[in-house]
Structure 1
């Protein structure tokens, strides 16, 4: 009889320990607990040690940390009929655990689905240039649309970023040709502007030299000095027609000038 009571007592202790294990729950600092007692929601439980009635209370843990959700690559067609493959990342956080449990079956899956749908519909209204060059504006629009839907579930969207945009190889080659043509156009424009500025400077220099003939002669002499630095060079020096015209009219004077020049050279 004593052994039976001892057995029953041991069984009772084991059952009591099991009930205590089932009744005591610990929530971490970043967790909140939504408890249903007989199917009815209780006030929100904070972090710490909790006591639940076994087989009566059921608790759902909600993580309030920021969750990173990767959106799978989506096939979209832009407004200018260019197919593209786009993937993105969404960072969200549960701000109202009761709404996250009572308002939607699975808030993470719901947020992922609404993000995919919004990504396809919004990018379909943008052209390829906007998709490639103005991602920040698209990110803001995506966040606004997704957050408007997820706010009813107690979920706040923190960040929405378009990660990568893949376009067909033929379109990449066409864009490369377009970029090359644009660079060539800019180079030609810059070269033309340089020629225009150089011609304007030359015109001003010619006007300045024409006002003083001595300046022109000094420029001739400076050019001869620069060319004479190379002893193997042949210099063709142009003479103004007005200088040699008197000698052509008086050949004897030209001979006398040459004779005088040779005599001075001998001296």
Structure 2
């Protein structure tokens, strides 16, 4: 027969057990730290940790997107272009990569944005505005390659990098529109003259 002390211990053990349950979704992996030191990888499914002593940090392993945020970049022909890009990445799901993403870089999403912005300044700064607009695929490929090399120790794959926009300053845009309009009017006048 279980006495009051046995019942109390059983209830206490049950409470500790339930407070230690952690469910990791298939889209995540976790690092379990015991008293601040890495202990193990938490795989998807049921995981149990010792309450108060252990702590679990979840890391998303699905493809994610960060916006490199619009910035003004001076092109090779001394024009300010407003440039924006999106970077798609995913943290690899193996234990070493999860540890690298957690411990080798602080806030990897912010670091990817900063690295992408710096890389874009370096790439587009060597191009004219016209060539930057016409060579978007080349810029995307170069950005992807550089980001992949720089983030290889972070435990992640840069899946793709895409320029969203390369916009010239407003006054340059207006001038470009006037040139296009004048060329269209010239073609229309030539067509009209040839028709008569």
Deviation at 1:39, TM superposition (A): 3.1
Matches of 1:88 and 1:122, distance apart in 2: 13
Q: Deviations over 1:71-99 (max 9, x none)?
A: 21111111100111111111110012111
Cα deviations by residue, 1:145-177 (Å, 9 ceiling, x for unpaired): 112111111121111111122222221232234
2:26 is aligned to 29
Is 1:138 matched with 2:135?
no
- Verify the 8 A CA contact 2:88 2:160 in the aligned structure 1: yes
User: Pairwise mapping of residues 65-214 of structure 1 onto structure 2 (< 5 A)?
Assistant: 65-95=62-92, 96-179=97-180
Unmatched 5+ stretches in structure 2: none
For 2:11 and 2:71, the matched residues in 1 are separated by: 55
Map 1:42-57 → 2, pairs under 5 A: 42-57=39-54
More helix by share: 1
**Structure ID, larger Rg:** 1
Query: 2: distance between equivalents of 1:14 and 1:119?
Result: 59
Q: Aligned partners of 1:188 and 1:152: how far apart in 2?
A: 61
TM-score w.r.t. the length of structure 1 is: 0.62
Q: Distance in 1 between matches of 2:106 and 2:44?
A: 23
Q: Once the 2 structures are TM-superposed, how far is the Cα of residue 11 of structure 1 from its aligned partner?
A: 5.9
Match for residue 224 of structure 1?
none
TM-score w.r.t. structure 2 length?
A: 0.82
**Greater strand share, structure number:** 2
RMSD: 2.6
Which has the higher mean CA deviation after the structures are superposed, 76-85 or 163-172? Answer: 163-172
Map 1:9-24; keep pairs closer than 5 Å: 12=9, 15-24=12-21
Q: Which has the higher contact order (CA 8 A, sep 6+)?
A: 2
Tell me the number of residue pairs that the alignment of Structure 1 and Structure 2 aligns. 187
Aligned-pair distance for 1:139?
Answer: 0.6
Task: Report the Cα distance in structure 1 between the residues aligned to 2:99 and 2:10, rounded to whole angstroms.
Answer: 36
Instruction: Give 3-state SS (helix, strand or coil) of 2:151's partner.
Output: helix
Q: Distance in 1 between matches of 2:126 and 2:19?
A: 54
Return the alpha-carbon distance in structure 1 between the equivalents of residues 131 and 42 of structure 2: 46
